[in-house]
Amino acid sequence: MPERKRKVRKVEKSEDELKKAMPGRFDAGVFTPDRVSERLTLKNLASGIALAALNAKVIIDAEAVRARKEIYEKDEVLRSLPLTTFDVSEIEVELRFAVEGVEEGDVVVSTDIEKLEKIQDSLSTVKFRLKSKPITEYTLPDGEKVVRG
């Protein structure tokens, strides 16, 4: 399959600006004091890992843009080089956990270290793979925007 070239738009937003533009998008994996009492479910754990990976890519790209502005553009040789960043195209995760129960159709998992150490041989395991996929935005003739991913 031939490699597709991506259109690159100049983005000059910091991580803080991105977080302000998309509130709540990057804090799923953050356990603040008010979230510690929440029961951890497999759905929250898996989505927290996926959001952490996405957040890491956003931070990496923001740093690449910052380096371009602060370092590359000031040097005559570096200025002619393309902007590089890491390609986070696939992440494989294996989770080992103890099931505490099922609530509202989701599996509640234990985070108690002592409990996990005692039952280490009988922990449940799930593997999943995160693969990047481009998101495309179309504008229909009537002006409506459609996002496909």
Q: Is residue 68 part of a domain?
A: yes
- Report if residue 31 sits inside a domain: no
Quick one: pLDDT at residue 38? 64
Within-domain flag for 102: yes
pLDDT for the residue 141: 92
Burial 50-81 (b: 16+ CB within 10 A, else e): bbebbbebbeebbebbeebeeebeeeeeeeee
- Structural domain span for residue 50: 40-135
Q: What was the pLDDT predicted at 147?
A: 85
Q: Is residue 6 part of a domain?
A: no
What is the pLDDT, as a whole number, of residue 25?
Answer: 47
pLDDT score at 32: 47
* Structural domain includes residue 78: yes
Q: Map tokens 């931070």 to a residue.
A: 59
Indicate whether 141 belongs to any domain: no
Predicted local distance difference test score (pLDDT) of residue 94: 92
* pTM for the full predicted model: 0.60
pLDDT for residue 26:
47
Position 131 in a domain:
yes
Query: Mean pLDDT of residues grouped by 10 in the chain (149 residues)?
Result: 49 57 51 56 92 89 88 86 81 92 91 88 91 86 87
Total of domains in the chain: 1
Residue 29 lies in a domain: no
Sequence length of the chain is 149
